[in-house]
Structure 1
């Protein structure tokens, strides 16, 4: 009898141990490594998804790395240093042009306009685009979306960036702002919060928005390799669901509320400045309110690349864009 009791107790103990382990397996947390092309308030919904716990709600543990530049971000993705890249959609076209056997797929759009601003070294009360003619313009990296969108806007206003300006675009992405601060250029194209920080410190003055001038484009999207989606479709769907929640949250909350949530990502920036920038992006419709990258935006992107002389070849929308996941998430 004692022997039977010992066996029964042992079996009970084993079952007690096994049940939690089985439950853990069912609710296993999935790690996802994100590489963002830069740290910017422009990506507010991403930070909201992290801070509000939307990724955790989906059983995802995300780690975020700033990879400083589209080329570096794409290299990190292709070398499996990250799982998901937050970068301009043009990078997926460049990879496709090189004949990749594992194409990079855009699956969730985060921003839908250019996120840069034209900053002047001197204050201009009544700015007009023709005031750039003959000036030294510190632009973004050649072939990158900021530079191409910038050139698109300049041409729209009758300015040939390569003939009417002294165009500088050989400065590394991370060093553009410091170069301007040290005296290079009379105008510069900058992301936030750097543009507003410069204005607050008297280093420059925001005179125009490239976002309001360039129209809707898939400026920044979450993308990953096709193989990753095939092997981790459930994870990508959960990731997209978290982003959609964040997009809806930002859209339905004030700039002040959003600023308070994301302030930890911008420790050296005043809260009121973060609020100002969020409000600026919201008012010009820069934050996408859902993760769908539509066909019209894709065509606009390639038109801008083509006019900049940077489009290797046109790529069909469905070849590099997957909206099935985003549509499924929105239906649910």
Structure 2
């Protein structure tokens, strides 16, 4: 009889060990409430959203028990519309969306930081370089942005205002963030451009544009904004986070792990992970662009202490929709999930 019980106990132990070896089994106690969900992304081919791409391609979402469908949009404002409309559960987009939504009386919260710098470059098309020597010369210019109202547009507006030019003084034209950018520049549709990599590195390297403002580094970002400017985040309606804390934690775990991977990934690792279609037929260019923006990726997913205030100060300086006295910054983000995710990687 004792042998019988010992055999059963041994089999049970072996079964537990086998389960523990399964991918993601360590998180079984925190099984996501919503294992299948949709994430709206404001331009997946752009390096701005590389942590999302890495988390998907490297299987980090799956490791967390998640089946995430990535819905790609031309810009962050379009992705936000999908989340607001309910066709997407969470969004990957700029932190400032949470500020504007709160101003409308709707509560959205960023829960994982991907970018601590906007990664946005403002440049002038070569044929217009003699006329548009600085942003102060942009009055009347046609300027390409990924989508009106997106972060490329907002960073442009901040930079223009600093140069004494109002957003209403220029014409903003949506040109996406992929190959459509090249077409807009090549056809003479725009005079200048505010956009992200790898397109901006490609255009700079070919001599098609001249760079005037560069927020691909923390240093360049602080020069323009006077502090840390949080950029790409994962965000969701407050109701989603409250209802699905384990799912939110699982998403954060995957993104923070992807952030961590990007800090040390080799060029070969990166080229193996990124789909061929995103390399623009030029792997060397893509790698150059990646190294241009690498400093912008958050190492731990945590919102910097001065980040939300910097964002609100910059945006409220020109947008009357944002009254700093009426915005509760503490309700626009949380480090609760990222802190736990970062601790697991140590």
Q: Is the 8 A contact 2:115 2:297 kept in 1?
A: yes
User: In 2, are the aligned partners of 1:255 and 1:276 still within 8 Å (CA)?
Assistant: no
CA 1:267 to 1:214, structure 2 compared with 1: closer, same or farther past 3 Å? closer
Tell me the distance in 1 between the aligned counterparts of 2:82 and 2:292. 31
1:95 match: secondary structure: helix
Q: Which runs of 5+ in 2 are unaligned?
A: 1-18, 223-227
Q: In the alignment, is the contact (CA less than 8 A) between 1:47 and 1:265 conserved in 2? A: no
Runs (4+) off by over 6 Å: 23-29
TM-score (norm 2): 0.76
Question: Root-mean-square deviation (CA), in Å?
Answer: 3.2
1:150-170 deviation line (CA, Å, top 9, x unaligned):
2333444xx22239x962215
Q: 3-state DSSP class of the match of 1:185?
A: coil
User: Is 1:75 matched with 2:81?
Assistant: yes
Equivalent in 18, 35, 40 of residue 35 of structure 1: 40
Which structure has the greater CA radius of gyration?
1
How far the C-alpha of 1:119 sits from its partner, in A, is: 2.7
Partner of 1:196: 201
Deviation, 1:36, is 0.4
Distance 1:132 1:268 in 2: 32
Matching residue within 155, 178, 184 for 2:189: 184
Once residues 135 and 79 of structure 2 are traced to their aligned partners in structure 1, the CA distance between those partners, rounded to angstroms, is 35
Aligned partners of 2:102 and 2:108 also within 8 Å: yes
**Matches of residues 50-199 of structure 1 in structure 2 within 5 Å?**
50-100=56-106, 103-122=107-126, 129=134, 132=137, 136-140=141-145, 143-156=149-162, 159-162=163-166, 167-171=170-174, 173=176, 178-199=183-204
Aligned equivalent of 2:299: 289
- Shift in Å at residue 208 of structure 1? 4.2
C-alpha offsets along residues 234-261 of structure 1, whole Å, 9 cap, x if unaligned? 1111111111111111102234532331
Query: Please, what TM-score do these two structures have when normalized by structure 1?
Result: 0.79
Q: CA deviation at 1:269?
A: 3.7
> Which deviates more, 169-178 or 259-268?
169-178
Tell me the distance in 2 between the aligned counterparts of 1:256 and 1:181: 31
Q: Please, which of 270, 293, 308 is the counterpart of residue 318 of structure 2?
A: 308
Are residues 301 and 259 of structure 1, via their aligned partners in 2, closer, same or farther at CA, if it must alter by over 3 Å? farther
Which position in structure 1 is the counterpart of 2:245? Answer: 233
Task: Give the drift of 1:268.
Answer: 3.5
Unaligned runs of 5+ in 1: 1-19
Q: CA deviation at 1:32?
A: 2.3
Q: Residue 35 of structure 1 contacts residue 67 of structure 1 at CA under 8 Å; is this kept in 2? A: yes
Q: Partners in 1 of 2:114 and 2:135 — Cα distance?
A: 32
Does the 8 Å contact 1:152/1:214 carry over to 2?
A: no
Structure 1 residues 310, 88: CA separation in 2 closer, same or farther (over 3 Å shift)?
farther
Q: Secondary structure of 1:322's match?
A: coil
Q: Does 1:317 align with 2:294?
A: no
Count of residue pairs brought into register by the alignment: 303
Structure 1 counterpart of 2:291: 279
Describe the SS at the equivalent of 2:38.
strand
Distance (whole Å) between structure 2 residues aligned to residue 210 and residue 267 of structure 1: 22
Structure-1 residue corresponding to 2:221: 214
Map of 1:331 onto structure 2: 343
Deviates more, 1:220-229 or 1:145-154: 145-154
Q: How much has 1:280 moved relative to structure 2?
A: 0.5
